[in-house]
């Protein structure tokens, strides 16, 4: 791990992934299976975490996935992920999902999700991750909101 840095901009963690919804991805109603979408979200978020930390990252938790609109057979699904905030060995990755119907010309925000990843070494042990540096107003808002979500996660864990 020779080229590790101490901090990186949020924009350097961004990953965009696009998938086509095929028949094997859908339920009997022709809608994208929730589990399939969660799989794609996890992959995209893991890539953003790894891109940021320059290490393999494992999923520690999935906070929340909101299903706002169904995604239909034949839609193109675009998944956008970036690191919202880093902590000692973990980081929160925010994900937004959009469905495009090219024949109708529609572009709909269908899902949002928050996942926590941990950077690990060659022995799968947690290691300190690189500090994230938010720059834009939106990145700074997401940075602050991530701390509130982390506090709620830890409180919930401690009360269980």
Domain boundaries in the chain?
7-158
pLDDT at 71 over 70: yes
Over the chain, what is the mean pLDDT?
94
**Structure confidence by residue, pLDDT tens digits, 110-120:** 999 999 999 99
Distances (CA, A) of 141 to 86, 91, 103: 14, 16, 35
97/34 Cα distance (integer angstroms): 12
Phi/psi for 42 (5° steps) reads -60, -40
SS3 content of the chain, % helix, strand, coil (to 5): 30, 40, 30
**Contact by Cβ (8 Å): 75, 21:** yes
What is the mean predicted confidence (pLDDT) over 17-42?
97
Global confidence as pTM: 0.92
The mean pLDDT value for 54-66 works out to 92
pLDDT of residue 74: 98
Q: What string of DSSP letters covers 3-16?
A: T--SEEEGGGG-EE
Element (H, E) at 95: strand 90-101
Fold of 7-158: Thiol Ester Dehydrase; Chain A (3.10.129)
Does position 1 have pLDDT exceeding 50, yes or no?
no
| pLDDT greater than 50 at residue 88 | yes
For residue 96, pLDDT beyond 50:
yes
């Amino acid at each position: 791990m020779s080229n590790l840095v101490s901090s990186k901009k949020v924009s350097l963690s961004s990953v965009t992934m696009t998938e086509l919804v095929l028949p094997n991805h859908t339920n009997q109603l022709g809608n994208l299976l929730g589990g399939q979408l969660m799989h794609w979200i996890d992959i995209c978020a893991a890539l953003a975490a790894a891109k940021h930390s320059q290490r393999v990252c494992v999923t520690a938790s999935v906070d929340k996935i909101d299903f706002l609109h169904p995604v239909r057979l034949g839609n193109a699904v675009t998944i956008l992920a970036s690191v919202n905030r880093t902590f000692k060995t973990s980081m929160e990755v925010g994900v937004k999902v959009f469905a495009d119907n090219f024949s109708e010309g529609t572009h709909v925000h269908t899902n949002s999700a928050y996942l926590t990843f941990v950077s690990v070494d060659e022995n799968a042990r947690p290691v300190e991750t690189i500090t994230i540096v938010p720059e834009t107003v939106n990145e700074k808002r997401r940075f602050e909101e991530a701390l509130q979500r982390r506090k709620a996660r830890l409180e919930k864990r401690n009360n269980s």
